Amino acid sequence: METADPQVLVKIIRNALSGKGAHVGVASAFAGLDWKLAAARPERAAHSVFQLLRHMIYWQDWVVKWLDGQNPAVARHASAGWPTETGPANAKDWERTVRRFRAGLKELNRRIGGPDLLAKPGRKTRLEMLHAIASHNSYHAGQVVILRRMLGAWPPPSGGLTW
């Protein structure tokens, strides 16, 4: 069996982390959203945009630690990865949270070029873990888009897929 070209794997995982070629950029899903709308929870919605963003940050941080060779504790219950606050305290808190998410994406991207993507430091390879967080972010970014549409706040100022 032939081993995949490492550069192809890097390109695939970078595209997956960004959403490139599949949907609006993951980092762009939060652009231009008012902090008060980020706290809104339309009827029957399980979470606010803010809660989704904080959940995504929680797991990005977890994966970065794992990729760095740490052994982060796995949450005993799913609720541990979700914030109890429905929204940011103010506009600065919202902006800080969005910046933290984007910084986490940059940290993940930095680790793509690190040790062999097929190295298996645990039960999963580095590639599998990067793919898992990219899929996780993609899933929740889709939820963010749906919530923003429900709130009349889509597309973001930079544009986005509307069909």
Say if 160 falls within a structural domain.
no
| pLDDT confidence of residue 27 | 87
| pLDDT confidence of residue 1 | 43
Say if 61 falls within a structural domain.
yes
Continuous segment of H or E residues that includes residue 84: none
Domain containing 123: what range?
10-150
**Count of domains forming the chain:** 1
Query: Tokens representing 85?
Result: 């606050």
Q: Which residue has the tokens 């990865």?
A: 81
Residue 122 identity (one-letter amino acid): G
Contact in structure between 126 and 118 (CB atoms under 8 Å): yes
Say if 5 falls within a structural domain.
no
| pLDDT confidence of residue 24 | 78
Say if 155 falls within a structural domain.
no
| pLDDT confidence of residue 107 | 96
Distance between CA 131 and CA 109 in Å, rounded?
A: 12
Terminal-residue alpha carbon distance, the chain: 41
Say if 1 falls within a structural domain.
no
Q: Which residue has the tokens 């803010």?
A: 50
Running DSSP on this structure, what letter comes out for residue 155? S
| pLDDT confidence of residue 21 | 72
Per-residue pLDDT of the chain (163 residues; tens, 9 = 90+): 456 677 888 888 888 998 887 777 888 899 999 999 999 999 999 999 999 999 999 999 999 999 999 999 988 888 889 999 999 999 999 999 999 999 999 999 999 976 688 888 888 999 999 999 999 999 999 999 999 999 999 988 877 655 5
- Ordered alpha helix ranges (H), 19-115: 35-39, 49-67, 91-112
Largest Cα separation within the chain, whole Å, is 55
CATH number at residue 113: 1.20.120.450
Burial label for 8, CB within 10 Å (0-12, 13-18, 19+), is exposed
